[in-house]
Amino acid sequence: MTAAGTGGGRALIRRHSLREQIADALRDEMMAGRLPAGRNFTVKEIADIYGVSATPAREALVDLAAQGLLVTEPHRGFTVPEFSWQDFLEIFEARTLLTDNALRHLSGRPHGYDWSRLASLRRRADAAARAARAGQLDVLVGCDLRFWQEAAGVLCNGRIADYLGWLRIQSWMFAAPHLRAGGDLAGVCWDRHGELVDRIEARDRAGAHRIVNDYNLFTVELLARRLGQPLEGVAVLRLLREPLIPPPSAPTAPAAPAERPPAAAPRPAAAAAGLGRVPMPRFVPPGRFARPFRPGSGEPAAGR
């Protein structure tokens, strides 16, 4: 942890809720890999680092433990959990299935996109892409998290946004230490955030879906190479590589039987050829995370 590791001054607390502030700061440290798996600390240690009483420090740690981001150990305090490769694959599969379903069925939602968030999404995309190209992992983890939360928010479904954010935090907790150990990250991480915003702005649902799938493939393949792990048997990869299946089309009304003209009337040419009326198809109309505080800086991380 930055403040603890340097032994320097206390992190400034500027938000109204000390509990949320401390939880956000610790979560950022874990996401960036600066607070590694197995690191143990007590309520008193956290309270001293941030210059607060034991109550908000304890509440923050309990909140993170309830989210599965810390492990409670009797008489030892709290420990950063260690996610295995299999844990990551389960997180990755849940993320993939949730985003795939949301994008496939987006056009069927009666309220569609929240276009008012597009400008914010664009700013977050630019910040995340710059950090990725520069290899600034400490900045990237926050910018990337906020970008995808904003993108999920465009879907107008807060529960999806929150759950995807929680999964992405755990993904970074696993990935960041391995990425950091690989040396210079300039140009290594995914940086196509702006392309996704372009597809969303163009109302290109299939194009947006393809870019998100490419992102997920890029992520799992990069980590598999870094860790020397095989990807055979990861069933969800087939979902990422297949073309987008369009949503079911509107059902077609059953063909009306041919009307036989009166016996005395001449039969139309179509009826004489045994053809009925071609029916017209029926038309069916188509249908949180708080800004984190970076310990030691006194301000939110760049690009958030």
Greater confidence, 133 or 73? 133
| Residue 286 reports pLDDT greater than 80 | no
Indicate the pLDDT class of residue 300, thresholds 50, 70 and 90: very low
Indicate the pLDDT class of residue 98, thresholds 50, 70 and 90: confident
Report pLDDT for 240. Answer: 86
Report pLDDT for 182. Answer: 87
Greater confidence, 127 or 209? 127
Is residue 61 exposed (0-12), middle (13-18) or buried (19+ Cβ within 10 Å)?
buried
- pTM for the model stands at 0.73
Q: Tell me the HSE value of 28 on the side-chain side, using a 13 A CA sphere.
A: 29
Backbone angles phi, psi at 76, to 5 degrees: -125, -10
Q: What is the pLDDT of residues 220-231, one digit of tens each?
A: 999 999 999 999
Q: What 3-state DSSP class applies to 78?
A: strand
Greater confidence, 108 or 67? 67
Rg (CA), the chain: 26
Strands 40-41 and 77-79: antiparallel
Strands of 40-41's sheet in order across: 40-41, 77-79, 71-73
Indicate the pLDDT class of residue 23, thresholds 50, 70 and 90: very high
| Residue 214 reports pLDDT greater than 90 | yes
Q: Are 293 and 14 in contact (CB under 8 A)?
A: yes
Greater confidence, 37 or 158? 37
Which of the residue ranges 63-67, 128-132, 195-199, 278-282 would you say has the lowest mean pLDDT?
278-282
